Amino acid sequence: MNWKRFTLIGFVLTTIGISLPSAAQRLGSNFDEEEWVEQQAKLPAFPKPEDLIPAPVDATKSFRFLIDGSSIDIGQDGVVRYVLVARSTSGSENISFEGVRCETHEYKLYAVGRADKTWVQPRNVAWTRYSRVPPNYHAELAILYFCPGEIKAHDPAEVINYLKRGGYQPPPFTNPS
């Protein structure tokens, strides 16, 4: 039965001047989109305490997250890059330079801060898809601050605004009538 349907579809497409391979190619790829190319990330200056902005998330209560406002960069490649300080309840800190791709729900760890205020490249520098199911601080940071309404923020000032407001708040639903 499937071969009859396939034959009929082929006949219709051929009748209107489209071959099966051409139709499959048109349906299977988007010619308007260019292949994504990641730009080279430049290591930022090590964070200063006065530049840290709290980034509240619900994923974990054992860490307080802060974003270095001066490090926020939105590249031509669409990646939102930032320095994250994760401060534990005991006072220890983990400092990292990270990026988020809003379109693909991925994050990348570019560098880790050391005690001597230098950066070191981590072992794994691949893009990793973050789960949109809580608790996951990468997903929460992306949704609340870097990818408001499922798209990337337009500029660093927009991200800082979301940080200061406690996160992106979708506009209220209004009935058009």
Angle CA 144–148–153, to nearest 5 = 115
Residue 156, burial from CB neighbour count under 10 angstroms (0-12, 13-18, 19+): middle
Q: What pLDDT, in 10s, does the model give residues 23-35?
A: 444 444 444 567 8
Q: What pLDDT, in 10s, does the model give residues 112-171?
A: 999 999 999 999 889 999 886 667 899 999 989 999 877 788 899 999 999 998 888 776
pLDDT at 17: 52
User: Which residue would you say has higher pLDDT here, 51 or 22?
Assistant: 51
CA 169 to chain centre: 18
Instruction: Judge whether 107 and 125 are in contact, CB under 8 Å.
Output: no
pLDDT at 168: 84
Q: Domains (ranges, CATH) in the chain?
A: 49-165 (2.40.128)
Structure tokens at 167: 């996160």
CA–CA separation, 13 and 90 (whole Å): 68
pLDDT at 150: 73
Q: At what angle do helices 2-15 and 20-28 cross, to 10 degrees?
A: 100
pLDDT at 47: 97
CA–CA separation, 140 and 132 (whole Å): 8
Angle CA 161–164–169, to nearest 5 = 70
On the question of pLDDT at 98 being above 80, the answer is yes
